[in-house]
Structure 1
């Protein structure tokens, strides 16, 4: 498995953000974490990315324990958080070269040129990031997450704040990069999952409440929309 999560819980003080979550994701699958805001999606993604430890349970990426083998696990992961932490005062190519250097890539120039072409940044590559539209900034964020060719790509709300044209472009890019790696994306937008993902996991109040292929949800009364709307009803 590309990702294995076993009986994971996470507490922040007295607040339980995740409760006994188990999940396995095979290679080359695009999985959508779908749930309302505050459901625990971002917490789960940060655990996979090694940004903080689980309170209980284990997380492994590409066979490496995130806590026991953090360097090996992190080398397998590319991560784009919800609030894209790019440096707006740097040029696109400059920033990607800086990121590539942090990953110890030997031929930085070649790697950056290839990534710029892959994510459709060629016309913008010599501009300051602060001059780019939100859609192109997201492309830069995805490029930095992919620059070291990770086997797992984690995208937290990757289309938040994009206009309709930018939405289409970024969703197509996610489908493209997901052809040869595992992708997990979180969203509170059902259409996002339907258009991009192979599989959907519904998460609510820190727990997985449903998990299956899109086709499996489609065969049920009301489909995925009905299952998702039920999560929005106050319990």
Structure 2
């Protein structure tokens, strides 16, 4: 398969991924099961590498940090630390996550307040308006959806009929034209050809990722933990 590179850092960082995993697993941010989170975090890193995504170094630094914390928690505490409660190896990471979560929430509130002062204008009729309650999807929501497709592929019987080469550019054009002609949002899974090869699944995903990154398409959920929908991006 040809290497297709899409930069990840324009979407989110490692703290965003950790917050995503905490929310997805409905965990207490102050009592993170480090073994579970480390396993899932490393799985995301493996998927991003398999997709030939350019992974920012901070993702790998965080992976090393998680493995270090996990190893410390597996080691027996020294006798002197048993007598008096020792420091939780997760403490520094938890503090960073809590502060970052507060920062993100404050940024969202400021953004919403700023929008209240923007003059109202009429958008072109052909553009699809965002509905109240929609949850914008980030990179990790997209990877979640891809994981489900890949799992489904593992249990279904696939037959390669043709060796026709699938290019990223052609797939981007195909997807954009399909969404441009759609009057409503399309389910994420419907954009993938039934019984597609693993290569075509990955190329289709990368094409979607690039179109979303460039602001031509947007992906969102209608409910928390609900399926993903894809539509044209709103006009600027």
Structure 2 length normalisation: TM-score? 0.24
User: Relative contact order, CA 8 A, sep 6+: which one is greater?
Assistant: 1
Which has the larger Rg?
A: 2
Structure 1 length normalisation: TM-score? 0.24
Q: Name the one with the larger strand percent.
A: 1
